[in-house]
Each structure stands twice: as C-alpha cells, then as structure tokens.
C-alpha cells in the first residue's frame, strides 16, 4: 500500500465550445474541443490509520468538506470499496478558481487516480471516468486529458491528435463567473447558425497541424452571454490580438481568455505587458504556458 502520493492536476482550455440544444432534463448537449495546458494544482495525499478524510487548501475561501469536489472524489471511491483507513489531502491551488479552466474537476480527477493507486483498487482509466461523471461533466475528460472532442453533456469523449505547437497566454480578470448562470442565460435553442463555432473545422485544422486555420476557426458560443455581461473579457481578447496573438477566445464559461502565439517572443512580450500598471485592470492572473499531451501522467513522485 502506498503511504504518500504527490499529484499534478492540470487545467484545460476549450479550443472550441458549441452548445447544440437545451435538453428536457435541463442539461445541454455540447460539442467541445478540450485541451490540457501546463498549469496545474498540487495535491498531496497521505495515508493515515484513523478513518475519514481531512482536506486543507491554500485558499481560505474554499470549502474543506463534502462541498469540495476533492473531498467528494475521495469519499466516492472509499465508500464504494469499504476503505477503513483514512487520508489527509492537501490541495495547493494554482489554476484560477471559477475561471472556465476545470480546476475543480481536474482536482477531483487527480484524487480519483490517487485513491485508486494508493489503495490498489485496480480500476482502469475508463472505470475512473465512469465514476467521474457522477462528480461533474468535465471530470471524465480531466481523467483522460490531452486533446479530445467532448459531446453529450461532456462525458462522451473522442481522443484527438495534439494541436500544432505554440505558446498559450492565459489571462483571468478580477471577476468570477457562474457556469450555471451563463448556461441559464444562453437560450441555446434560439441561437442563429452563424453563432455556432465550426467544431469540425477545428478538428480538421488540428489533424492537418494548421495553426493559422485553428486560430481562425476557434470559437466559444458562451461568449454570446459572458461578453455582454463582462466587457473586460472582450478587452483582454482585443489586447492579445493587438499584441501578436494568432487567435484569442474565452475558455469555458469564462472569464478566462487565452491567446495562441506562433511567435514565442510576442507571447513573452505580451505576458510582460499584462503586468504593466496600465494593464492591471485587464487581468489579475496571467500565465504563459503550452499545451500538455501526456494522458497518463498524474504523479510527480511517490513514497511507498
């Protein structure tokens, strides 16, 4: 049995996000291109003799009980397999919170992986993904990671080849957005044809390794809601495009914006300009990163 695990929970962006319709059960059918990026939260899991789960985080406003997806993920597997020993979980958040980057879902996915490994439960990746959907629609993707087409409510996943190499500049303004509120205001069944991004075209651009075409076709239908409510998101997009980005869109339900840069020097310069005084009102958290492709790498060292 493993006594300690250190895990990396990577964030994601949406190279394309389309909502096809609102279903009668209240969920939405989506078609999304999901992409993991090299920004990650740190999660440490330690075995303890006493039963139960303890959770601590570096952010005072995050819950450390059943209202946290990390806690729910650990409890889901420990209850199912009747695990009587306990775990201490420490979560260090780096991925912006409530930002459209699936930080909470990725944390949950890493803990599913960790509990499975620590207690040698023998669950396959697919079995972890099946359990993950009980925690949230993005969790199965966060178990799989890499580049994928996501359909249904997000749980139907088709792996795709990695997109062409580029720098990814990520900027989150000093606001948070409720995913639930964005979808409630979308009115998906009333969208016009030209408001839907070309998901098939994005897939084609990825398969042909055509960065220019990928950037041209990128789109997020949720911008029709979030940009109207938060003009700063458009300002960030414009700032990136004016400073060398090949393309820039909002990720998920926002408010995070990312830009793709074929020119690494332009990406670095823009990253630095976001930190200048005149740009501070644009973004409070800025990252310069790249795509992440390793589907199976969660651990960064373990002691058995």
281 burial type by CB count under 10 A (0-12 exposed, 13-18 middle, 19+ buried):
exposed
- Would you state the structure tokens that stand for residue 132, as one six-digit string? 């993950």
Which residues in 23-75 belong to E strands, given as ranges?
28-48, 53-57
CA angle in degrees (0–180, nearest 5) for 8-222-39? 15
Residue with tokens 């959907």: 133
Cβ atoms < 10 Å from Cβ of 289? 19
- Would you state the structure tokens that stand for residue 272, as one six-digit string? 């630095």
Cβ atoms < 10 Å from Cβ of 248? 22
* 12 is an active site residue: yes
Peptide bond into 255 cis (omega under 30): yes
Among candidates 30, 37, 32, 29, which has minimal Cα distance to 12? 37
Please identify which of the residues 18, 41, 138, 246 carries the catalytic annotation. Answer: 138
* 138 is an active site residue: yes
Instruction: With residue 76 as reference, give the H or E element that holds it.
Output: helix 69-80
User: Half-sphere exposure of residue 29, counting CA atoms within 13 Å on the CB side?
Assistant: 7
Query: Which 3 state secondary structure label does DSSP give 92?
Result: strand
Query: Which 3 state secondary structure label does DSSP give 73?
Result: helix
Please identify which of the residues 8, 12, 217, 237 carries the catalytic annotation. Answer: 12
Written as one string, the DSSP assignment of 149-193 is: EEEETTTEEEE-PPPPP-EEEEEE-S----HHHHHHTT-GGG--G
Return the bridge partners of 57, or none.
Answer: 91
Residues designated as active site: 12, 138
């Amino acid at each position: 049995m493993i006594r300690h695990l250190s895990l990396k929970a990577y964030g994601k962006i949406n190279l394309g996000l389309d909502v096809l319709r609102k279903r009668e059960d209240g969920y939405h059918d989506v078609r999304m291109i999901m992409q993991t990026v090299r920004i990650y939260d740190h999660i440490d899991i330690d075995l303890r003799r006493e039963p139960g789960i303890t959770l601590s985080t570096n952010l005072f406003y995050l819950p450390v009980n059943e209202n946290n997806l990390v806690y729910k993920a650990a409890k889901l597997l420990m209850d199912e397999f009747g695990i009587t020993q306990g775990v201490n979980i420490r979560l260090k958040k780096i991925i912006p919170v409530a930002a459209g980057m699936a930080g909470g879902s990725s944390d949950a996915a890493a803990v599913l992986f960790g509990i499975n490994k620590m207690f040698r439960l023998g669950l396959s990746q697919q079995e972890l993904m099946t359990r993950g959907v009980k925690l949230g629609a993005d969790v199965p993707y966060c178990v799989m990671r890499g580049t994928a087409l996501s359909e249904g409510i997000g749980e139907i996943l088709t792996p795709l080849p990695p997109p062409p190499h580029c720098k990814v500049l990520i900027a989150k303004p000093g606001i948070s957005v409720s995913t639930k509120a964005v979808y409630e205001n979308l009115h998906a069944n009333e969208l016009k044809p030209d408001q839907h991004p070309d998901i098939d075209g994005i897939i084609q651009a990825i398969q042909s390794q055509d960065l220019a075409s990928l950037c041209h076709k990128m789109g997020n239908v949720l911008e029709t809601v979030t940009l109207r409510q938060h003009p700063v998101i458009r300002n960030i997009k414009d700032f990136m495009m004016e400073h060398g980005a090949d393309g820039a869109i909002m990720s998920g339900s926002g408010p995070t914006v990312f830009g793709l840069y074929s020119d690494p020097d332009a990406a670095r310069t823009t990253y630095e300009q976001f930190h200048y005084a005149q740009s501070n009102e644009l973004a409070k958290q800025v990252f310069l990163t790249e795509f992440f492709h390793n589907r199976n790498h969660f651990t960064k060292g373990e002691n058995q």
